[in-house]
Structure 1
Amino acid sequence: MNLSEQILLIKELFAAGGIVMPPLVLCILLLWYGLGYRFWVMKEPKLMGVRDMLKYYQAHGDKPARNIVARAVKQGLELKRRGVKNLRRHLDAAFYDYEREIGKFSVLVRVVILISPLLGLLGTVMGMIETFDSLATMTLFSQSGGIAGGISQALFTTQMGLTVAIPGLLAHSILNRKQNQIVQDLAQVKDLLCHQTDSHYLTKSNS
């Protein structure tokens, strides 16, 4: 398919969806940009538990951190090594950037998922209005499409709205579960660093 054919196909899609197609396309771009960013931030898997991670990075502080929790562990161990006062407050401040990073674009994605079916419904209503107008005037074909064009627009925009929302909802749910797990891991790192001595959590890790 050459460029001219692709442009023609895009024009046909916009014509089939009517006035709601530009905002639907914008929703698609925003949705997958937000999901792509969130996936990229949280893509690295956690290969060991928090306790094992604390033990590992205390013994191998020069090893690179491969995910958000590992970076937080290294930063927390450095703060504890320096013997800062009010360690919990410093950890909260240091980990806030991680929590904000993994939550970035979450609200945008949720809003797009909610708006997309409504835009599809709006297109459906507009298509049905055109259909009934054509029936009232007995116009099978008109500049705007007539009865066939109205029904086509009604079905196409509904399909587009659901096509945006359903995959987005599934991906958003998966990423939210991963975000919640990371938040729990960060909270566990804080608790272990603040309430247990090094020898205590190392002993628990070996047991």
Structure 2
Amino acid sequence: MLGELVEDFLFYYQAGGYVMPPLVGATLVLWYALGYRMSVLRRGRRPDLTTLLRHVSAGEGYRPRSLVDFAAERGLAVVDREPPNLRRHLDEVVAEFRREAGRYRIVTRAIVAVAPVVGLLGTVDGMIETFDSLQEMNLFAQSGGIAGGISQALFTTQMGLAVAIPGLVMDRLLARRQATVERELQQLREHLVAEATTISGRRT
């Protein structure tokens, strides 16, 4: 079974012409980036922000699993230091985790946008070869002939869409999750500021 899959892949790879190597490379990069984003943006099951901050502050053995959990730990550490400009320091923490939440987003969107165009380039090249072979009336030639040109035109289009469509769907899903995480990070900052203000008021 595996041997047949490898043979089919090699056939498609060779029939697709010179645009197949960049498309295969783009596929590997795309799914690495998507996998990284999925691991970073995972949320898991956790309590609300108030309960989360209480657990982390009390050291009740709560194990951080999501980006917001780690941000809560960092934010509480900043609050404990009592810096003179707390909001600015918390803004830096939130900005750092927002950058982490958005890492590789531009890469995934660029690959999703470019992959069909690269496939179209292979299609155009395959059609040029097809028409050249029709002019010379060569069904088969060293360069592929009519059959090779049609195969290249179809395979590269198929490959470009096979790269772009799943990547587009995953990118949209992860974009929604990223928006949720960023909103929770903003809410976390406000919770920390309010908590620090309350503690400061009690001390005075």
Q: Is the 8 A contact 1:46 1:67 kept in 2?
A: no
Distance 2:63 2:169 in 1: 32
1:38-49 equivalences under 5 Å are 38-49=37-48
What's the offset of the Cα at 1:123?
A: 0.7
Partner of 1:204: none
User: Aligned residues: percent identity?
Assistant: 46
Matched to 2:70, the amino acid is: R
Q: State the alpha-carbon separation in 1 of the partners of residues 143 and 65 from structure 2.
A: 56
C-alpha distance in structure 2 between counterparts of 1:58 and 1:36, whole Å: 31
Q: Is the 8 A contact 2:55 2:62 kept in 1?
A: no
Q: 1:13 and 2:19 equivalent? A: no
TM-score, scaled relative to structure 1: 0.86
Q: CA deviation at 1:50?
A: 2.2
Aligned to 2:49: 50
Q: How does 1:16-165 map to 2 (within 5 A)?
A: 16-60=15-59, 62-165=61-164
The alignment's TM-score, normalised by the length of structure 2, stands at 0.87
Aligned length: 198
Amino acid at match of 1:166: I
2:46 counterpart SS class: coil
Inter-CA distance 147–176: structure 2 relative to 1 (3 Å threshold): same
Q: 1:127–1:156: structure 2 CA closer, same or farther, 3 Å change rule?
A: same
Task: Name the residue aligned to 1:183.
Answer: 182
> Distance between the aligned counterparts of 1:14 and 1:66, measured in 2?
40
Where in structure 1 are there 5+ consecutive unaligned residues? 200-207
1:77 alignment partner AA? L
Q: Is the 8 A contact 2:108 2:171 kept in 1?
A: yes
Superposed CA RMSD in Å reads 2.1
**Alpha-carbon distance in structure 1 between the residues aligned to 2:138 and 2:2:** 36
Deviates most, 182-191 or 91-100: 91-100
Verify the 8 A CA contact 1:131 1:148 in the aligned structure 2.
Answer: yes
Counterpart of 2:73 in 1: which secondary structure?
A: helix
Structure 2: distance between partners of 1:163 and 1:116:
9
2:202 corresponds to which residue? none
SS in 1 for 2:14: helix
| 1:47 to partner: Cα distance | 2.3
Offset at 1:181?
A: 0.8
Q: Deviations over 1:140-172 (max 9, x none)?
A: 111122111111111111000000000001111
Q: Give distance in 2, aligned partners of 1:15 and 1:91.
A: 54
Deviation (angstroms), 1:182: 0.7
Partner-residue secondary structure (3-state), 2:116 = helix
Q: For residues 64 and 106 of structure 2, what CA distance do their matches in structure 1 show? A: 28
What letter matches 2:99 in structure 1?
A: R
Asked if the contact 1:61/1:74 (under 8 Å) is kept, the reply is: no
Displacement of 1:8 after TM fit?
Answer: 4.6
Q: Against the structure 1 CA distance between its residues 94 and 193, is the aligned structure 2 distance closer, same or farther, given a 3 Å change threshold?
A: same
Deviation at 1:46, TM superposition (A): 4.5
- Residues 108-135 of structure 1 deviation map (CA, whole Å, 9 limit, x = unaligned): 1111111100011001101111111111
CA distance in 2, matches of 1:109, 1:68: 20
